[in-house]
Structure 1
Amino acid sequence: MKPLDADPCVFMVPEENGILKLLVVYVDDTFLLSNDLTWIPTMKTELARQFKPRDLERINYALGIKFTQNEKEGTITMTQRLYVMKLLKRFGMLDCKPAPTPMTPSVKLAKPIKVDEEEMANFSYQMLVGSMMYLAVATRPDIPYAVSFLSQFNPCYTVEHWKAAKRVLRYLKGTMDLALLLHRTGEPILGYADADWGVCVVDRKSYTGFVFKFGGAAISWEAKKQRTVALSSTEAEYMGLTEAAKEAIHLRHFLKEIDGSFTSAIDVYNDNVGAQQLVKNPVLHARTKHIDIRHHFVREACTNG
């Protein structure tokens, strides 16, 4: 059993005759996955010789996530309803009115000119944003942008930032039953990338967002502020495609290690024609010569498939 190069926390027994045997480690939790049900109890016995594990049998609830397996339908559902309920209770919002969206475009948040530490002490802003961050990376691809945007104000915030953070929690109140539903499908992995040009009024930097779908559900996603200021929406989208391309390469590497027959290229979709042309046509001109060389990585990735 060896760790994967793409993820050293995933250990794999070399595949034989289509039999998959994986051991996944997350801090002090260990998960066994296999389509050979005789291997799992054998591996449990081996682990018990070296450690003193607590066997929770078939996965039901782990890492704050509720897992529901339906063998007949061939589905796995992942939800964090209980985690959301705990957040609502912790911040006294069990009876709050649900919000239809995580954020509202009419609210433009900026860093306060003067720091009021006494006012900041009245709000558990950092605790709330940090608590929602786990949801954003685990099972809720609909809130990473909002949480990432709010996290930049962790060092300095006001009551307006606190209200914006609570709005995300109100949105979660109305959508706590949303879940990731994975099922058997012959569809390939597809990626989608986008960017919001100059949305941050603090420094006018853009935000990048991407999501990859496989098995009928999102399996990887991210939303974060770009490192440099984009001079056009095309440039912002182009930089966003670079981030998506990096993730596509990682996913392809990961899946190829698990299934040696996986050699397909992963398509990434984007709705900006200008950015698409920049990827395909490496012509240097006034509109692109200033773009950091690191962002041209997407061109090579596209050429190599």
Structure 2
Amino acid sequence: MGYILELLRQYGMSECNPVATPSECITVFDKSCEKLDKIYPYREIIGALMYLSVATRPDIANTVARLAQFVNDPSKAHWNAVKRVLRYLAGTADKGLVYQRTALPLVGYTDADWGGCTSDRRSYTGYAYLLSNAAISWKSQKQRTVALSSTEAEYVSLAEAAKEAVYLRSLLLEIGTKEFTDITIYVDNRGAQCLASDPVYHARTKHIDIKHHFVRECVSKGLFTLAHISTHEMLADVMTKPLARVNHERCRTGLGLTA
């Protein structure tokens, strides 16, 4: 909380009007917007927000990741979007990750926003892992290749989440907490789930980079279990795209960000 209040004070936003979400639902972040007419501390604010999104605030991770692409040439729209993030933080400065004692094992959520970037039509990967009723690891990142279908985008996202699951499982075993390693990863795309569980390589999937099929090996070895979940219950949704207030608050609470 102290970091957020200091950040608001430093950039003259202490008395700003709070908003309910860090980004508008319909927002176009590209290079065609009107350029800034003077120098603003855009790069400095993005750096501060990136630190915050990585450390304790997964709810702003996707918005910050999208805005960070334009640190070399921001526009007025990008500057206004950054100020909106600060306004959102002003209204949620008391929110933080609250962990509770529980015997539940590690659980993960993975999602993708197919073609979410309007500039190059690449998709966004998002995942979050929860332990003790709050997020312990999360990621929001643009995919490096263009996905040709929503299933492919979700599969690539699942592969990224699988790598993190293997690491977290190894960490939990190393510190002697084997009881938490019965990992379940939830996905909301049946096609990606079936693709990950099918050991056969099909003609329609041969264009997918071989590194993404790592998830198949993990499933066959029993390193984690895949389970389907409704899109309306997908907590990683907030890691891939801007959401309306109700959905954003649902995901934020589900990730353990409470007062």
TM-score by length of 2: 0.82
Q: Is residue 2:52 matched to residue 1:135?
A: yes
Aligned runs of 1:146-185 on 2, under 5 Å? Answer: 146-185=63-102
What is aligned with 2:125?
A: 208
> Are 1:99 and 1:167, in contact at CA under 8 Å, matched by a contact in 2?
yes
> Are 1:109 and 1:161, in contact at CA under 8 Å, matched by a contact in 2?
yes
Q: Is residue 2:190 matched to residue 1:270?
A: no
Instruction: Report deviation, 1:156.
Output: 1.2
Change (3 A) 1:261 1:210: closer
- Matched residues in 2 for 1:224 and 1:209: separation? 7
Aligned runs of 1:290-301 on 2, under 5 Å? Answer: 290-301=207-218
Instruction: Report deviation, 1:264.
Output: 3.2
Compare the two structures and name the one with the higher helix fraction: 2
What is aligned with 2:28?
A: 108
Q: Which has the higher contact order (CA 8 A, sep 6+)?
A: 2
Q: Is residue 2:143 matched to residue 1:231?
A: no
TM-score by length of 1: 0.70
Instruction: Report deviation, 1:121.
Output: 4.8
Compare the two structures and name the one with the higher strand fraction: 1
What is aligned with 2:202?
A: 285
Aligned runs of 1:60-71 on 2, under 5 Å? Answer: none
Which amino acid in structure 1 is aligned with residue 11 of structure 2?
A: F
SS at match of 1:249: helix
SS at match of 1:182: coil
What is aligned with 1:247?
A: 164
- Matched residues in 1 for 2:93 and 2:70: separation? 25
Q: How many residues align?
A: 222
Change (3 A) 1:94 1:233: same
> Are 1:112 and 1:157, in contact at CA under 8 Å, matched by a contact in 2?
no
What is aligned with 2:249?
A: none
> Are 2:122 and 2:143, in contact at CA under 8 Å, matched by a contact in 1?
yes
> Are 2:158 and 2:215, in contact at CA under 8 Å, matched by a contact in 1?
yes
> Are 2:33 and 2:75, in contact at CA under 8 Å, matched by a contact in 1?
no
Change (3 A) 1:246 1:120: farther
Change (3 A) 1:141 1:255: same
Q: Is residue 2:12 matched to residue 1:92?
A: yes
Instruction: Report deviation, 1:125.
Output: 0.8
